Amino acid sequence: MTGTLLCPLSELAELGTKSFTAGSGPWPLRGFLVRKGRDVFAYLNRCPHAGHPLNMRPDEFLTAERTHLMCRSHGAVFDIATGECLAGPCAGRFLQRLPIRVVDGYVILDGDADELAAQYA
Ligand code: FES
């Protein structure tokens, strides 16, 4: 099975987020990880409202209360586990989930990063 090492799980706080770039070429896959306890999720770093990256500062994707994900462009708020927009200009739409697995303490992107980047270009 193909895969790309994204980071050691230990680089993610128990409730933490981390952006990543995977693949080669001028349009790599840009995503982010969010860990909530034992669960880790990965999403494309593209807001369903206007297509902007969600974060303005590196690795900052959570609301001030750290209960939800947030897009800094126009304030859309998303559920951590499902990526559903719960409030804001794209309510009811979803962040694009990316396939990952955690193996031996490492977060791995499942599949070919360049193919995923092309799929979501
Ligand atoms: S681009 Fe994310 S809320 Fe507008």
CA 46 to ligand 1 center in whole angstroms: 9
Q: Is the pLDDT of residue 2 over 80?
A: no
Q: What is the CATH number of the domain that holds 36?
A: 2.102.10.10
Position 1 pLDDT exceeds 60: no
Q: Is residue 94 scored above 60 in pLDDT?
A: yes
Q: Quote the number of domains for the chain.
A: 1
The one-letter code for the residue type at 56 is M
Q: Whole domain around residue 108: which residue ranges?
A: 3-119
Measured distance CA(52)–CA(59) in Å, rounded = 15
pLDDT tens per residue across span 36-68: 999 999 999 999 999 999 999 999 999 999 999
pLDDT in tens, 97-110: 999 999 999 999 99
Q: For a substitution probing ligand 1, which of 43, 90, 95 has the most ligand atoms within 8 Å of its CB? A: 90
Give me 94's structure tokens: 């979803």
**Residue 25 pLDDT:** 86
Nearest CA to ligand 1 atom 1: 50
